[in-house]
Amino acid sequence: MKFIISSTNLLKSLQTISGVVVSSNTLPILEYFLFEAKDNELKITASDQETTMSITVTPTMMEEGGAIAIPSKILLDTLKTYHDTPLTFITDPLTFAIEIVADNAKFKLSGQDPEDFPKMPALTNPASVNIKGEILVRGISKTIFGTGTDELRPEMTGVFFEFTEEKATLVSTDAHRIIRYRRPDVQSSETMSFIMPKKPLTQLKNTVPIDDTYVLIEYNVQNVRFTFNNVVLTSTLIEGRFPNYEAVIPRDNPNKLIIDRVALMTSIRRVSLFGNQSTHLIRFKIAGQVISLSAEDYDFQNEASEVLPCAYDGEDIEIGFNSKFLLEMLSNIDAPNVRIEMSTPNRAGLLIPETEENDPEDLLMLIMPVMM
């Protein structure tokens, strides 16, 4: 295999997929990039066995095709020392030796047999849907933080995707909260649903263009594939049934509070400093058009309280929440004001952004109360 490529172009391409690479003592090949040269195109792939990501680039010149696995770390570190320099790659298909020539420098390193590299799984008769990159990234960003970490409940460690003829829905939950993101402006000709692991979602969030670029999503029972521009990401899906989140969302919430989001976040952040750092309990006491936030830590005799104005419709209520969860949820809302809906102190509260009527985003966040 022999080709010439710009160091800047190659580095940018490798950085797009490098997040998939893992250090593995059991399978050292996972620390390599797979290079495949064919028909004047260079396909570069990274894999951790669960997630496989490839990008296709066009070299400046290609004389011979072929394939080889090149160690990722030393290649990335070398490319970072150059600024838009033509690099000539020459590989030996028998010994897997690699020679890189740049200006007056020459580098030699050992590659691996490309046949040892994990194969990208094929999708047989997949269901498919197209979605704009901007919408996909928004959906992932608004839900990924709410995923769980309990490996005994793997179906809660990823994000649930559902596409129907009416809408697209992304949901995450960790049993203490539910984050549901809906878009009625995204439809599919057939109903499809799957649970995506967190790692490939992070890769998508960081690489999918935030514009009108369409992303093709193809899915079968075991795998899902995302294709956009010159990039393809394939991931193994999480097995299991996602919790029936709709059954948990309370429908009758007579107590409704509207408050400035930033002011509430600032107050929670300040007051929670004086609360218990293991329970993160913060009390909401709402009466009239005023909300009183308070927290205490009896072990250190710390306590704090703060009063904020709000627009409130409902009966007086006192309810406890996890301040850490609240701050994370509020920071993932863009609207200036947020609506908090409640019923009783022992039932979940809902956080809903106050947006314009024609806003295509439908974001709902549920948080379970903390017993006081």
Query: Which domains, ranges and CATH numbers included, belong to the chain?
Result: 2-116 (3.10.150.10), 127-246 (3.10.150.10), 250-367 (3.10.150.10)
- What secondary structure does DSSP assign to 47-69, as a single string? E-SSEEEEEEE--SEEEE-EEEE
What is the C-alpha to C-alpha distance for residues 115 and 20, in angstroms, rounded to an integer?
19
Which H/E stretch holds residue 367?
strand 362-367
Closest by CA to 15, choosing from 33, 38, 39, is: 33
Please answer whether residues 298 and 275 qualify as being in contact, where contact means their C-beta atoms are separated by less than 8 angstroms. no
Q: Which residues partner with 228 through β-bridges?
A: 231
What is the C-alpha to C-alpha distance for residues 269 and 282, in angstroms, rounded to an integer?
10
Total-model pTM: 0.93
What is the C-alpha to C-alpha distance for residues 93 and 90, in angstroms, rounded to an integer?
10
Which H/E stretch holds residue 353?
strand 349-353
What is the C-alpha to C-alpha distance for residues 320 and 369, in angstroms, rounded to an integer?
6
End-to-end CA distance of the chain: 68
Please answer whether residues 303 and 295 qualify as being in contact, where contact means their C-beta atoms are separated by less than 8 angstroms. yes
Query: Residue 11: left if φ>0, alpha if ψ -120 to 50, beta else—which one?
Result: alpha
Which of the 8 DSSP states describes residue 194?
A: E
Residue 303 CB partners (closer than 8 Å, separation 6+):
274, 294, 295, 296, 297
> Which tokens go with 30?
């996972």
> Which tokens go with 225?
């594939």
Please answer whether residues 335 and 354 qualify as being in contact, where contact means their C-beta atoms are separated by less than 8 angstroms. yes
Q: Which amino acid is at 342?
A: M
pLDDT of residue 122: 87
pLDDT of residue 146: 97
pLDDT of residue 357: 82
pLDDT of residue 24: 79
Query: Phi, psi (5° rounding) for residue 296?
Result: -150, 155
> Which tokens go with 371?
């017993």
What is the C-alpha to C-alpha distance for residues 211 and 85, in angstroms, rounded to an integer?
30
- What secondary structure does DSSP assign to 126-155, as a single string? -EEEEEEHHHHHHHHHHHGGG----TTSGG
Q: Is the dihedral of CA 349, 352, 357, 360 positive or negative?
A: negative
Cα angle, residue 170 at apex, residues 55 and 223 outer, rounded to 5°: 45
Mean pLDDT by 10 residues, the chain (372 residues): 97 97 88 96 96 97 95 97 95 97 94 95 91 97 96 95 96 97 93 96 96 95 96 97 95 96 98 96 97 95 97 97 97 97 96 91 97 84
pLDDT of residue 358: 84
> Which tokens go with 109?
């390193």
Closest by CA to 160, choosing from 248, 224, 208, is: 224
Please answer whether residues 196 and 161 qualify as being in contact, where contact means their C-beta atoms are separated by less than 8 angstroms. yes
pLDDT of residue 372: 78
Identify the burial level of 2 via C-beta atoms within 10 angstroms of its C-beta, where 0-12 means exposed, 13-18 middle and 19 or more buried: middle
Whole-angstrom CA distances from 204 to 137, 238, 244, 341 are 7, 17, 26, 33
